[in-house]
Amino acid sequence: MGRRSLVGLVAVALAAVGGVGGVGVATAGAAAPYLVGRGISDVTGPAAENGMMGYSKFGQSTTGIHQRLRSRAYVVVDQGSGSRVAYVNADLGMIFQAQRDAVLAKLQSRYGALYNERNALLSATHTHSGPGGQSHNLAYNLSILGFQKQAFDATVDGIVESVVEAHEDLAPGSISLGRSQLTNASVNRSQVAFEQNPAADKAAFPQAIDPAVTVLRFQQGGNDIGAINWFATHATSITNENTLISPDNKGYAAYRWEHDLKGVRYLDQSEGFVAAFPNTNAGDMSPNLNLQPGSGPTEDPVENSKIIGQRQLSAAEQAYNGPQATITGGIDARMRFVDMSAVQIAPAYTPDGQPHRTCPGVVGVSTLAGSVEDGPGIAIIPEGVTNPFFELLKPLNVDVPPWLISCQSPKAPAVPTGLLQATPEIVPIQLVKLGQFHLVAVPGEVTIVAGLRLRRTVAQELGVPIENVLIQGYANAYSQYLTTPEEYQLQQYEGGSTLFGKYTLPAYQQEFANLAKAMKAGTAVAAGTHPPKPGTAELNLQTGVVFDSPPLFKSFGQLLTDAASSYQAGQTVQVEFVTGHPKNNLHRNGTFLEVQKLNGGQWQRVADDGDWDTTYRWARTGLADSKATITWKAGAPGTYRIVHHGDSKALNGAITPFTGTSRTFTVS
């Protein structure tokens, strides 16, 4: 959960496939082995007064939008067997169990059992600049002042829409696999812990980073329709001082490929190229190359998000356009819920060859410390704390049972979040097979060596090359970090945030090995016990919008500051309007602003609040009145105007839309 987290069925309904959504299942002899489809939708939550997810910084609440957040979905169907997988990557900090449950419920209300816990993989890019409050576990909602239903619904509805779009887009197609390397978009932010690993593990990463770029290329009838581009780096180029919604570096890479290179216009409701940039084992990988928040390669965090995003795009294009291996073989998946608080681990999976067990979740003191690399925590607490009687904890009156302290050793426990249901104990683990390519879907943040060991375990059980097994982090639920036992011993931030104790990784190795064995044998896996809903799941202390009122003698949509009459290309146009609260209408799959250009006597939208060169900012100017500040970096020569779309709320609760328009201006 960034560097500052406070805590950090059995088969597809194959017979029914042919009648759903007008998509039939072809015979095994079909020319194209798969049906493939892609979809995209908007998951942007409240643009004002919603705590942000990722840094756990109290007071960091949204004040507008730099770029909108998107959910990107891909559905693949094996035409021979009818088996399918739905893959989602969303511009979110995490995927929580609550979101996954709600998404599946909506999909099943539409498609029956076609998409289910086993074959739907939901993942997040891990941006730290989006609205939060979407978990049912209190620890992840604390700094956001509780569960925010509006933010939750925005993500759930957007994810569902993207999957529906991908489902309806299904057509005969193919998938291929490409690879490249990227060495200047990540740095190991916890190298002191990395160095504790055995030489054989470290030798796999000579620069202490994972440079692998893995790309799946999707085509329908020979036409390119999308790509999934995995690379390990945190989406934390933008710091905890930011309050504008942003998909950060991975979102920029996706936007640049889709919008700038492929001509996708998100509000035009037309099919287009969909490019996802998910994370893999990024637990100790930072984009801040100078190991300071917002630093590297420049000292401008927003510019850094662009540069690091562009570097990921360039490496992805190299893999996409380079040598390709055609994906062949069946589509399959396995999933089960595991109680990670009480896994008995066989000696075959532990470093010392002895049996061990995991522990109920505990947040370590080092979690509260954060670090200087991505977002510092409590300044007086250093990383690497292992003394359970650390004197700074005494005023907190934290009661951690002695047996749990012993089980979590050498962690200095701060809060027994598992016992309090503040963090999850039962989590979903999932293994997805796309032909010869496999995804190990982990509900957390995996360091590069932990990822390496987990991949080795799965690859060995499946009997496939390790390069065809990839970690999909931030998947299906969230339970903080996953370090090696050696890294855990040092109790840096990542180790302090490894909830289930020193042997968390061996437990995952054992449990994923069981999934891999079942997949190889073609046997079913019981789903296990679904996690319970905590009693504090929907606790919320954030006040909502009471009503909006314009300033005296003014009206909604009225200009406060107009545009100048002319600008040079590259200059910033800034316009201010009297507005209402953005929570009145999220304008999801819409926009709070338009830059319109006069073409042939008609005004045409050329930019909106999802574009890189615009910003939408909201601020209170009184108790119930507020203003919207819209900026645009002037583009090509022509005649333009700025339009603001807002909504006001009356005392009786009625919400009324309005628009405001700037003067016409020229760009030369």
CA 512 to each of CA 67, 432, 509, 624: distance values in angstroms, whole numbers, following the listed order? 37, 11, 5, 53
The helix (run of H) or strand (run of E) holding residue 131 is: strand 130-131
All residues at 6 or more sequence positions from 223 whose CB lies less than 8 Å from its CB, including other chains: none
| 540 DSSP 8-state letter | B
| E strands in 23-95 | 34-42, 48-53, 61-65, 70-78, 84-90
* DSSP result, 472-520: E-SBSS--BEE--HHHHHHT-HHHHTBTT-TTHHHHHHHHHHHHHHHHH
What residues form DSSP beta bridges with 469? 438
All residues at 6 or more sequence positions from 194 whose CB lies less than 8 Å from its CB, including other chains: 188, 202, 205, 208, 284, 447, 448, 449, 487
Q: Is the peptide bond before 297 cis (omega within 30 degrees of 0)?
A: yes
* DSSP result, 341-354: TSPEEPGGGSTTSS
CB 277 within 8 A of CB 299: no
CB 556 within 8 A of CB 578: yes
CB 419 within 8 A of CB 370: no
What span, in angstroms and rounded, lies between the C-alpha atoms of 192 and 165?
45
Token look-up 């927003």 returns 302
All residues at 6 or more sequence positions from 131 whose CB lies less than 8 Å from its CB, including other chains: 44, 45, 46, 50, 51, 52, 53, 62, 144, 148, 151, 154, 245
Q: Where are the alpha helices (DSSP H) in 287-378?
A: 301-321, 365-369
Q: Considering Cα of 155, then 71, then 367, then 304, what sign does the dihedral take?
A: negative
Give phi and psi for 478, each to the nearest 5.
-140, 125
Token look-up 């005649």 returns 639
What residues form DSSP beta bridges with 636? none
Exposed / middle / buried, residue 152 (Cβ in 10 Å: 0-12, 13-18, 19+): buried
What span, in angstroms and rounded, lies between the C-alpha atoms of 366 and 481?
12
All residues at 6 or more sequence positions from 19 whose CB lies less than 8 Å from its CB, including other chains: none
What span, in angstroms and rounded, lies between the C-alpha atoms of 531 and 477?
11
Token look-up 């202490």 returns 208
| 616 DSSP 8-state letter | E
What residues form DSSP beta bridges with 292? 295
Residue type, 75: V
CB 115 within 8 A of CB 108: yes
Cβ-based neighbour number of residue 530 at 10 Å: 12
What span, in angstroms and rounded, lies between the C-alpha atoms of 95 and 116?
16
Helix (H, G, I), strand (E, B) or coil at 55: coil
- Is 286 among the catalytic positions? yes
What span, in angstroms and rounded, lies between the C-alpha atoms of 595 and 534?
45
Return the structure tokens found at 385.
């704390």
CB 105 within 8 A of CB 159: no
Q: Exactly one of 61, 71, 129, 286 is catalytic; which is it?
A: 286
The set of catalytic residues is: 286
